[in-house]
Amino acid sequence: MKEILSFSEIKKRYDAEWLLIGDPETCDDFSIKQGVVLWHSKDRDEVYRKAREIRPNHSAILYTGKLPDDVAVVL
Protein backbone atom coordinates (compact mmCIF):
# COMPACT_ATOMS: atom_id res chain seq x y z
CA MET A 1 0.00 0.00 0.00
CA LYS A 2 1.28 3.47 -0.91
CA GLU A 3 1.86 6.05 1.81
CA ILE A 4 -0.76 8.80 2.25
CA LEU A 5 0.99 12.13 2.74
CA SER A 6 -0.34 15.50 3.86
CA PHE A 7 0.17 18.49 1.57
CA SER A 8 2.98 19.83 3.78
CA GLU A 9 4.76 16.43 3.69
CA ILE A 10 4.38 16.29 -0.09
CA LYS A 11 5.81 19.80 -0.50
CA LYS A 12 8.73 19.02 1.80
CA ARG A 13 9.67 15.73 0.06
CA TYR A 14 9.09 16.83 -3.54
CA ASP A 15 10.04 20.51 -3.65
CA ALA A 16 9.87 22.12 -7.12
CA GLU A 17 8.57 18.95 -8.81
CA TRP A 18 5.51 17.94 -10.79
CA LEU A 19 3.45 15.27 -9.03
CA LEU A 20 0.74 12.82 -9.96
CA ILE A 21 -1.37 12.47 -6.79
CA GLY A 22 -3.67 9.48 -6.45
CA ASP A 23 -6.94 9.64 -4.50
CA PRO A 24 -6.42 13.27 -3.47
CA GLU A 25 -8.45 14.58 -0.57
CA THR A 26 -9.30 18.23 -1.19
CA CYS A 27 -10.55 21.24 0.75
CA ASP A 28 -13.66 23.20 -0.24
CA ASP A 29 -11.50 25.37 -2.52
CA PHE A 30 -10.14 22.20 -4.22
CA SER A 31 -6.65 22.63 -2.80
CA ILE A 32 -5.08 19.30 -1.91
CA LYS A 33 -5.08 18.24 1.76
CA GLN A 34 -3.47 14.83 1.27
CA GLY A 35 -2.96 12.00 -1.18
CA VAL A 36 -0.65 9.31 -2.50
CA VAL A 37 2.25 10.33 -4.74
CA LEU A 38 1.99 8.01 -7.74
CA TRP A 39 4.76 9.66 -9.77
CA HIS A 40 7.04 12.69 -9.55
CA SER A 41 9.45 14.44 -11.87
CA LYS A 42 11.04 17.81 -12.61
CA ASP A 43 9.61 17.32 -16.13
CA ARG A 44 5.89 18.13 -16.37
CA ASP A 45 5.43 16.18 -19.60
CA GLU A 46 6.82 13.02 -17.99
CA VAL A 47 4.16 13.22 -15.27
CA TYR A 48 1.40 13.64 -17.86
CA ARG A 49 2.76 10.66 -19.84
CA LYS A 50 2.78 8.53 -16.69
CA ALA A 51 -0.81 9.57 -15.89
CA ARG A 52 -1.91 8.40 -19.36
CA GLU A 53 0.01 5.16 -18.87
CA ILE A 54 -1.34 4.14 -15.47
CA ARG A 55 -4.78 5.81 -15.80
CA PRO A 56 -5.60 6.32 -12.12
CA ASN A 57 -9.32 6.47 -11.30
CA HIS A 58 -9.08 9.65 -9.22
CA SER A 59 -6.01 11.85 -9.44
CA ALA A 60 -4.59 15.35 -9.53
CA ILE A 61 -1.46 16.88 -11.00
CA LEU A 62 0.36 19.36 -8.81
CA TYR A 63 3.47 21.53 -9.05
CA THR A 64 5.18 22.21 -5.72
CA GLY A 65 7.56 24.94 -6.82
CA LYS A 66 7.10 28.68 -7.24
CA LEU A 67 5.69 29.67 -10.61
CA PRO A 68 7.45 32.52 -12.42
CA ASP A 69 5.65 35.88 -12.34
CA ASP A 70 5.04 35.82 -16.13
CA VAL A 71 3.14 32.48 -16.06
CA ALA A 72 -0.65 32.32 -16.34
CA VAL A 73 -2.57 29.42 -14.80
CA VAL A 74 -5.70 28.31 -16.65
CA LEU A 75 -8.20 26.02 -14.95
What is the rounded distance in angstroms from the CA atom of residue 16 to the CA atom of residue 56?
23
Percent of the chain with pLDDT over 90: 83
Question: Cβ distance 39 to 10 under 8 Å?
Answer: no
Q: Which of 13, 29, 30, 32 is nearest to 21 (CA)?
A: 32
- Whether 70 maps to a domain, the answer reads no
What is the rounded distance in angstroms from the CA atom of residue 7 to the CA atom of residue 63?
12
Largest Cα separation within the chain, whole Å, is 40
- Whether 71 maps to a domain, the answer reads no
Q: What is the pTM of this model?
A: 0.86
Residue 28 structural domain: 4-63
Q: Tell me: the pLDDT tens digits for 48-57?
A: 999 999 999 9
- Whether 38 maps to a domain, the answer reads yes
- Whether 73 maps to a domain, the answer reads no
- Whether 68 maps to a domain, the answer reads no
Number of structural domains the chain divides into: 1
- Whether 17 maps to a domain, the answer reads yes
- What phi and psi values does residue 53 have, to the nearest 5 degrees? -70, -50
